[in-house]
Structure 1
Amino acid sequence: MKTLSETGVKVKTLTMRQAIIEALSEEMERDPSTVLFGEDVGKFGGVFGATKGLHKKFGDRVFDTPIAETTIVAAALGMAITGGIRPIPELQFGDFVGIAFDEVFHKLGKWRYMHGGQMEIPVTLRLPIGIAGGAGPEHSQSPQAIFMHAPGLQIVVPSTPYDAKGLLKTAIRDNNAVLFFEHKVLYDLKGEVPAEEYLIPFGKADVKREGTDVTIIATALQVHTALNAAKTLSAQGVEVEVIDPRTLAPLDMDTILNSVRKTGRVLIVHEEPKTGGSGAEIAARISEEALFDLQAPVKRLGSPDVPIAQSIYLEQFYRPSEQQIVETVKELMEY
């Protein structure tokens, strides 16, 4: 696959953290009704540094809140439907979305429908996710699949600085609620980002690597684990295609199915628990729509169905590894 610079696009290199800050800054400059708030996002710049400098630049439009997730999300909803405001709330850890479950699962996703479309809900809820350095069972989860069961919510899971910036700008401009999940390990990932403004539409997966033998569908950090495994497998004569859905709702099944019909073998990899993870839905839809194109059963790799260990040593065994991916692909090739 060609890099952006190889296509002739003028680029700059940013970390994903920097790309997110740029997206927030550009959208706040563009639209004065946009506000950013959450736990420590103001002068401190966020516990992961993903809002650094924005309070200084935009003043009271970037502000801290108490540690009260229910209030944060409910306030965002109220601002959106009554105050002509475009709020971007952040929860310090994505796990805390459970505290505001009613506001997210019911109200953000359903209220526009319940009120006959009379209101818009332009809320972009930012949620840091993933295992990162011994944060423990309540600060390391990836809960995005829960909300695939909530009609009305859009679910975004970027894996690169390019995707993060383009998708976040699209999210902020959208008049419906968006859950924007950011993997904590990826904040320091560097990548090319266009120097000019750009948007990435929802519901458009990205083929991160082309291949002919096996399709790997991966999200967030696991996109990079899959790409590393694909290099190892290529040296052994197996060419893997890696697809990043980028958004789980809407889900681009066309790109996924086109790849499945080409390779006939599928592996879905994510850091979420395997049981009921986003891979379960994707696998089911592949089986419904491309069963007779498959040469092997659809395989999934996810985390075990246990709480994430506090131990930095033990937590590494929770997420799928490059070795597991390589071994599973080899199993698929035996069919």
Structure 2
Amino acid sequence: MREQTGTVVEGFVPVIDMSARDTAAGRASIAAAIGAACARSGFFVIVGHGVPTELTARMCATTRAFFALPDTEKDRVAHRPGVSGFRRMGGATAHSIGKKTPPDLCEVFSAHVTGDLPAHERAQLGDYWASWQLANVWPTTPADFAPTWQEYLTAMSDLAGTLMRLFALALGLPEHHFDAVFDRHVSSIAVNYYYPQLDAPLPGQLRRGEHTDWGSLTILYQDTSIGGLQVLQDTEWRAVPTIPDGFVVNIGDLMALWTAGRWVSTMHRVVNPERGNTSSRLSIPFFYLPDHDAPLDPIGAFAGTEPPETFGTTTAGQWISRKMQQTFAKDPRQHG
């Protein structure tokens, strides 16, 4: 049985058209809509974003082709000490909020914008374990996998930078306020392949367990209309619709902290399909992460106010590293 059906509520996850972003008036209007969404649910969908449909289609096609390979082929680029790549199990995401569950029902391939840097440069990205210190390991099949992913990483980095400038306007800050803490960003993609569920899940087991995201913002592309993504408001899980050519955007813990709780980092999850539905699903989240040493203190008009929670760390990198290690605590090989 599907654990709980989400209710689609009009306006809870609004669709925001970014087509007018090239004018000051257009950016102000878009920023106002974003600010309202971030204060309400922390989730919205963007269209008119400028990312070519051809690129997202190619990204989905080459990634699906990789996940369709035999296990022996995928294991050639397995995530292991020193490198970031394929994971047969996607960890247990709910562990990051202290909830004990079985492993999530997905396979994952991950890569970082820093993963193709020389080893000595990656080693300078924090004096603690961090996934962005790992080297990307690219499969040779499909042949266009690496160049497509690298092109997509660049497109998402550019789009995320635009969104952060709109975030600044929405918060009454100078448009380029956040640029300085993203000039060496350590962002990543961790594509989830939700394979067909031929066997019944264990009790409490989901495609992705409930969690908040840890960074500044996430840009998510979904390759089908099957759905499964749900957002928690109060005690009700609400379904996030799939919009053709749209990206789901949500803010993470860092934005909630930087705004002293004015903007919310909302709990979400990916539920299982109904029993008997053996379709698969691909989701492509891009996690826009700031410089590893970015401070956690509230910003702008929120400076000096109490954060929404005590993170127990002093930099963005330390916070994200701790959450990552909680997620994969049962498999120390995942920590590189």
Calculate the TM-score normalised by the size of structure 2. 0.28
TM-score (norm 1): 0.28
- Select the structure that is richer in helix: 1
